[in-house]
Structure 1
Amino acid sequence: MPKAPRKSPEGRRGARSGDERAALLRRLAELEEREAHARHIVQTVGVSIWEEDFSGVQELLRELWRQGERDVRAWCAAHPEFVLEAVRRVRVVGVNDAALRMVGASSQQELLGSLERIFLPESLEVFVEQMVALDEGCSFIQAESVVRALDGRRMEVLFTFTWDAVVGRADRVLVTLMDIGERKAAERALQESEARFRNMADHAPVMMWMTDPRGGCTYLNRQWYEFTGQTEQTGLGFGWLKALHPEDAVSVEAVFVEANARRAPFQLDYRLRRADGEYRWAIDAAAPRFGPGGEFLGYIGSVIDITERRRREELQRFLAEAGTALASSLDYATTLATLARLAVPTLADWCMVDLLEEDGSVRRMEVTAAEPSEAPLAERLRRFPARLDGNPHHPPTQAILEGRPVLLPEMPPERLSSHAHDEEHARAIAATGPISLLSVPLLTRGRTLGALTFITTVRSGRHYGAVELEAAEDLARRAALSVDNARLYRDAQRAVRLRDEFLSIASHELKTPLTPLMLKLRVLTRELESRLEPTLGQRLLGHLEVCRRQVKRLSELVDGLLDVSHLSAGRLRIEREAVDLSELVREVAASFQPEAERSGCPLRLEAEGPVVGQWDRLRLEQVVSHLLSNALKYGAGHPVSIRVQAEGVQARLVVRDEGIGIEPDVLPRIFHKFERGVSERHYGGLGLGLYVTQQVLHAMGGTISAESTPGHGATFTVELPLAPPAPEAP
């Protein structure tokens, strides 16, 4: 069998070369496939990709290095023409389809070569950063800039610049551009909206704030900073709590944290420190914020200074309380003392009341201080009332003289002497430590009665303004009315006393001649009956009877005046004894029988039996006589009925006539002093009978009432306890 020929070394090498060639071809095919795949990706990806030749730029940078320039950024800032030359040296060598679509090109040829067609001057700053990165050896930078589309549109883009991205070409740069116009527009809209909100918030008449979901404050408007004196550094986060009154901060924080955990709205009041150090009451109201997806974003809230509102509410409550105190008494000295105590400390730390006397002098009625320990100083100030002949700039004096309020919001120590009568007075005022003063006149019916003066000190730190002035004037009007009413009441009481004294004296003086006159008429009647012939005697006796009735009527009127004077003076005496009311009414009715016959009003008495009680017999006769006299006077010729009965522990007397009656509008007043149910021109009288009757019955524990229908008569009902009432406890 022939042996196979042996392969020569050259043959073996040829076989290996063929295998390597095949492997190389396969490798090349894979690379081409990958390159085609990469190019496909580059072409189809939505990001604009540019390949740029930066060799010209690199040459310019090397020239700088040769010149010894190392700070590229500074050089570019000093030589803008250098930057423009560098831009001109950039060559676009390739773009993808996305780049064509972005700038509106129909083919690559429109974009290859110079950047001038898409480059804008606003992009120079970004280009400088590219050269700086190239100089410093950075392989990647990202920045926002602008380019120009071929149709002239200005486009906002996000640039990325990558060196060494093109294999084997250190002078090539791969650039991507992403259109961020919509995002930037949204950002600008958001910034504009936020700017509008901040502008509105900073010009809003209230303080405003915002927090993040954790509760930290992220925004406080200008009003907050101006009001509190805080800054962003001290107010944001939870620093705003430091502007609250220490007594309020803990509770406010607890309410806020609890509401933040529940995502619930809240409202609370607290004291907020103003930039000048004064604490002011504020109301803080907040609502939670939620995003489009319902996520909790934090709170937005507003803070309003409500000090004036609270002050008005406090002063209104004070005025209501003061009004009640002023109306509770007609002793104006006591009332004004109570008023001064109420004003401190609600309205003032010191309150002084000056009143004009009838002789034109001024008396300081009251001086009240907030601190009891200042009582000695209060006594000193009593010695310095308003003086009409004193310093006209003394506030109470000025208020009385001018009839208008005096408001001193500030009282600098160096000006105190100008408001005082003398140096001693100035020292007394200074001892109070005044910082603000308000003096208002007491005006009523066109007259000035005095002045109220209010002082605040460093103790309260309050300064008077329009709110306090309004309240003080309201209080002064009420006080003046109270003082005027009290004085009118005092004068009226004095007049009543003088009248009662006159009535008492006049009644006694009138009674003195009436008694002997009545006796003389009786004697004369007896002598005429015994000595004169019948015809003349009867005629004279008729005249004497008329005289006797008129004297009796005059005596009754005088007795009524005496009773009124005794009642006014509280000297009406009741002498109790056992009295049978039925028997007493029969006796009185019998005495009125002649008068009943003359008036054509027959008397009808109905008495079931004895009705015995402990009463004053003479006074009870007075009551029955007056009721029967009225019934006969106004009975208009109709019968008059009288009924006496006992009901349990009460005795009842009812007197009814069927005469003219009493008008409904008059009926409630007929038991008042000097009130009448009919015209005095037709029926006469003083209008005292029913008043005296009621007072006598009240003194015996009884009552009297009246019912009437005009044209159908009137009914008077008397009720008396059978036993005397128990004496009142001492």
Structure 2
Amino acid sequence: MSLNQPSSWHHACQQQHDMVSATPARLELVPERTSEVENCTAEAWRRTQEELLWYRKLYENTPCLYLTINKDGVILSVNKFGATSLGYSPEELIQQSVVNLFAQSEQQRLSHALMMLFEDAQENEIVNLELRLNCPASQMEWVKVVARVLYPEKENPLISIVCEDITAHKLSEDALRESEQRFHTMANNAPVMLWMADSQGLCNFFNQSWLEFTGRNQEQEQGLGWLEEVHPEDKNFCTQTYEAAFNTRTKFQIEYRFKRADGEYRWILNTGVPRFTPSGNFAGYIGSAIDITERKLAEVALKESQTAIQAQLEELESLNRLKDEFLSTVSHELRTPLTNMKMAIQMLGIALNQEQNLLLEMAKPHAERSKVARYFQILNNECEREINLINNFLDLQRLDTTAKPLVLETIQVQEWLKKVVELFQARNRNCSLHNLQLRIADNLPSFICDQFSLERILIELLTNACKFSPPGAEIIIAAQSKANFMQIQVSNDGVEIPVSELPRIFDKFYRIPSNDPWKQGGTGLGLALVQKLTKYMGGTIKVESESNRTCFTMQLPLA
């Protein structure tokens, strides 16, 4: 800034015919009536001078900018603190145009205000302005200017100007304005509908997405105008929820139908969060709204689907019960004649043994047996297979429908395994062709379990191993204790179970396709029963099959 640059206001004042040009002079604080000073005593004079110096010091160091200007806008006096704040000394500012201290954009405004103040010169007339400075060496950028006329009754009145630094306030206002502008920019470009309300619950802002959705403008939505678009059936609930949240200053969520610009009502999820000032005062709410119509439709469809599925499940359960009842009835009905057939076969065996020495014939190789012996074996085996089928099915049925209590007994594993294997060999003469090996670890602890169920499991595993092992193959029954459980394994050489079939090996009625080279047949219920009984006793069973060797591992808790 050039302080010597003449101002526009200075030129305008020079052209005024009713203004008297006066030689500017620096103001000094002196007594108004020197004659009275001359009549004072020396003490009074000293005191007066001290007071004058004190006031002078106060004037020079008050933390504000004090200026006195004449009609031409020329600075006649300035306090030291003020001049320093502007980056000058008082001497540099005296006799300079006051308007040159301000930004060029502000000079016309200041000049006009001062001219109007001189033209309507009154003692109490005050001008208030907020102006930007143009002082490169000053930290002040903005000042509040308060100007008033001094001695308006005199021919050449003066103007006193007080400037207060408001830079921080202006910067805060700019930051706030920039923040609000940034918020509005972000809000108007947000992909959701946004709104704001004041502390009275009246909405004062809606973003562009909201206005585009409703097809209305800010004025129409302001206050409670937005409620006009709420579905009549939802309006009371919406209003009550909204007011209750405002009264308690809490977050809220409302789902309601809201009219879109095309007239269609859409489901809206409106969420509001309370706002508070830094001092903790309630300032209102800010909220967002999203269209959830598709979600609502999906919920309705899902509910209808669930209802339909539930109905189907109930129907399937009913059919399953009917099936179980039917199969149970049929099984019981078949069991009685099969029992009679078994008894008749046994009686036939006794008679044939007496007449034709059947036991001796049965001990011969299959090809050398008589026809009667072969037919008797077929009849006996098939009858036994049917009885086992029905027994297995009934046992599975009972395990599926009821939980019968366990009959717990203490078992000495070493002795018990030997007895079960001997019993199995006695009942299944065909298994005599296989080499059954017992591998029982030493000092096995006794454990408590349902002896009957455990025997069923082991018999089924041994039967399965014999079916799928070639004659002469080794079948190993192993037992050992591990941690807190008893482990029993049955392994055999022969047919390898494909990896893809292992997950289904325990399913009811499931038999591995093309996996019966010795045509032993089966019902597909044995392993299903094994798994059920194992779980029934609180244990687990798994199967591994590789390199033409299959191993079933059962683990039962010791306690």
Using the size of structure 1 for normalisation, the TM-score is 0.40
Deviation digits for residues 383-414 of structure 1, max 9, x if unmatched?
xxxxxxxxxxxxxxxxxxxxxxxxxxxxxxxx
Q: Give the number of aligned pairs.
A: 351
Give 2:110's match in structure 1, choosing from 105, 126, 136: 126
1:307 has 2:290 as partner: no
State whether residues 342 and 383 of structure 2, in contact with CA within 8 Å, keep that contact through their aligned partners in structure 1. Answer: no
Deviation digits for residues 260-288 of structure 1, max 9, x if unmatched?
22222222322222121222222222322
Provide the secondary structure at the position in 1 that maps to 2:133.
strand
Deviation digits for residues 4-50 of structure 1, max 9, x if unmatched?
xxxxxxxxxxxxxxxxx979957998998887766554333222111
2:358 aligned partner, one-letter code:
R
Listed as ranges, the matches of 1:577-596 within 5 Å are 589-594=346-351
Provide the secondary structure at the position in 1 that maps to 2:268.
strand
In structure 2, what is the equivalent of residue 149 of structure 1?
Answer: 135
Distance 1:277 1:106 in 2: 72
1:212 has 2:195 as partner: no
What's the offset of the Cα at 1:184?
0.8
Provide the secondary structure at the position in 2 that maps to 1:142.
strand
In structure 1, what is the equivalent of residue 382 of structure 2?
Answer: 630
**Unaligned ranges ≥5, structure 1:** 1-20, 55-88, 331-566, 603-624, 635-654, 691-730
* Closer/same/farther in 2, CA of residues 629 and 40 from structure 1, 3 Å limit: closer
Give 1:598's match in structure 2, choosing from 358, 371, 391: 358
In structure 2, what is the equivalent of residue 44 of structure 1?
Answer: 61
1:101 aligned partner, one-letter code:
T
In structure 2, what is the equivalent of residue 163 of structure 1?
Answer: 149
2:73 aligned partner, one-letter code:
V
Distance 1:675 1:23 in 2: 132
* Closer/same/farther in 2, CA of residues 42 and 662 from structure 1, 3 Å limit: same
Provide the secondary structure at the position in 2 that maps to 1:148.
coil
1:659 aligned partner, one-letter code:
R
State whether residues 92 and 112 of structure 1, in contact with CA within 8 Å, keep that contact through their aligned partners in structure 2. Answer: yes
State whether residues 164 and 170 of structure 1, in contact with CA within 8 Å, keep that contact through their aligned partners in structure 2. Answer: no
Distance 1:264 1:598 in 2: 94
Distance 1:587 1:276 in 2: 87
Provide the secondary structure at the position in 2 that maps to 1:49.
strand
Provide the secondary structure at the position in 2 that maps to 1:214.
coil
Distance 1:669 1:154 in 2: 89
Provide the secondary structure at the position in 1 that maps to 2:262.
coil
What's the offset of the Cα at 1:113?
3.8
1:663 has 2:464 as partner: yes
Listed as ranges, the matches of 1:179-258 within 5 Å are 179-258=165-244
Distance 1:217 1:665 in 2: 84
1:590 aligned partner, one-letter code:
M
Distance 2:507 2:260 in 1: 67
* Closer/same/farther in 2, CA of residues 318 and 585 from structure 1, 3 Å limit: closer
Deviation digits for residues 551-576 of structure 1, max 9, x if unmatched?
xxxxxxxxxxxxxxxx99x99xx9xx
Distance 2:136 2:178 in 1: 30
Distance 1:326 1:194 in 2: 58
State whether residues 118 and 150 of structure 1, in contact with CA within 8 Å, keep that contact through their aligned partners in structure 2. Answer: no
Deviation digits for residues 474-531 of structure 1, max 9, x if unmatched?
xxxxxxxxxxxxxxxxxxxxxxxxxxxxxxxxxxxxxxxxxxxxxxxxxxxxxxxxxx
In structure 1, what is the equivalent of residue 74 of structure 2?
Answer: 91
What's the offset of the Cα at 1:675?
12
In structure 2, what is the equivalent of residue 53 of structure 1?
Answer: 70
Provide the secondary structure at the position in 1 that maps to 2:178.
helix
In structure 1, what is the equivalent of residue 94 of structure 2?
Answer: 111
Deviation digits for residues 188-227 of structure 1, max 9, x if unmatched?
1111111111111111111122222232223222111111
Distance 1:670 1:39 in 2: 109
State whether residues 105 and 111 of structure 1, in contact with CA within 8 Å, keep that contact through their aligned partners in structure 2. Answer: no
Deviation digits for residues 409-447 of structure 1, max 9, x if unmatched?
xxxxxxxxxxxxxxxxxxxxxxxxxxxxxxxxxxxxxxx
Structure whose CA Rg is larger: 1
Provide the secondary structure at the position in 2 that maps to 1:195.
helix
Provide the secondary structure at the position in 1 that maps to 2:141.
strand
1:295 has 2:47 as partner: no
Deviation digits for residues 600-640 of structure 1, max 9, x if unmatched?
599xxxxxxxxxxxxxxxxxxxxxx9984536899xxxxxx
1:112 aligned partner, one-letter code:
Q
2:382 aligned partner, one-letter code:
N
Provide the secondary structure at the position in 1 that maps to 2:223.
coil
Listed as ranges, the matches of 1:435-514 within 5 Å are none
Q: What is the root-mean-square deviation of aligned Cα atoms in Å?
A: 5.1
Using the size of structure 2 for normalisation, the TM-score is 0.51
Distance 2:506 2:74 in 1: 119
State whether residues 631 and 657 of structure 1, in contact with CA within 8 Å, keep that contact through their aligned partners in structure 2. Answer: no
Distance 1:673 1:156 in 2: 91
Distance 1:589 1:101 in 2: 130
State whether residues 87 and 138 of structure 2, in contact with CA within 8 Å, keep that contact through their aligned partners in structure 1. Answer: no
Give 1:280's match in structure 2, choosing from 262, 266, 269: 266
State whether residues 601 and 632 of structure 1, in contact with CA within 8 Å, keep that contact through their aligned partners in structure 2. Answer: no
- Bigger shift: 311-320 or 205-214? 311-320
Distance 1:47 1:665 in 2: 111
State whether residues 99 and 111 of structure 2, in contact with CA within 8 Å, keep that contact through their aligned partners in structure 1. Answer: no
1:598 aligned partner, one-letter code:
L
Distance 1:152 1:670 in 2: 91
1:131 aligned partner, one-letter code:
M
Distance 1:226 1:171 in 2: 61
Distance 1:587 1:150 in 2: 125
In structure 2, what is the equivalent of residue 102 of structure 1?
Answer: 85
In structure 2, what is the equivalent of residue 394 of structure 1?
Answer: none
* Closer/same/farther in 2, CA of residues 129 and 168 from structure 1, 3 Å limit: closer
1:251 aligned partner, one-letter code:
F
* Closer/same/farther in 2, CA of residues 26 and 662 from structure 1, 3 Å limit: same
2:84 aligned partner, one-letter code:
R
* Closer/same/farther in 2, CA of residues 152 and 658 from structure 1, 3 Å limit: closer
State whether residues 669 and 675 of structure 1, in contact with CA within 8 Å, keep that contact through their aligned partners in structure 2. Answer: no
What's the offset of the Cα at 1:156?
1.8
* Closer/same/farther in 2, CA of residues 628 and 190 from structure 1, 3 Å limit: same
Distance 1:593 1:230 in 2: 103
- Bigger shift: 21-30 or 313-322? 21-30
1:44 aligned partner, one-letter code:
N
In structure 2, what is the equivalent of residue 430 of structure 1?
Answer: none
| Identity over aligned pairs, percent | 25
In structure 2, what is the equivalent of residue 612 of structure 1?
Answer: none
**Unaligned ranges ≥5, structure 2:** 1-34, 317-325, 363-376, 387-423, 431-461, 469-504, 526-559
* Closer/same/farther in 2, CA of residues 600 and 224 from structure 1, 3 Å limit: farther
* Closer/same/farther in 2, CA of residues 251 and 113 from structure 1, 3 Å limit: same
In structure 2, what is the equivalent of residue 638 of structure 1?
Answer: none
Provide the secondary structure at the position in 2 that maps to 1:192.
helix
Provide the secondary structure at the position in 2 that maps to 1:663.
helix
Give 1:266's match in structure 2, choosing from 249, 252, 259: 252
2:101 aligned partner, one-letter code:
I
Distance 2:167 2:385 in 1: 112
State whether residues 163 and 170 of structure 1, in contact with CA within 8 Å, keep that contact through their aligned partners in structure 2. Answer: no
* Closer/same/farther in 2, CA of residues 167 and 174 from structure 1, 3 Å limit: farther
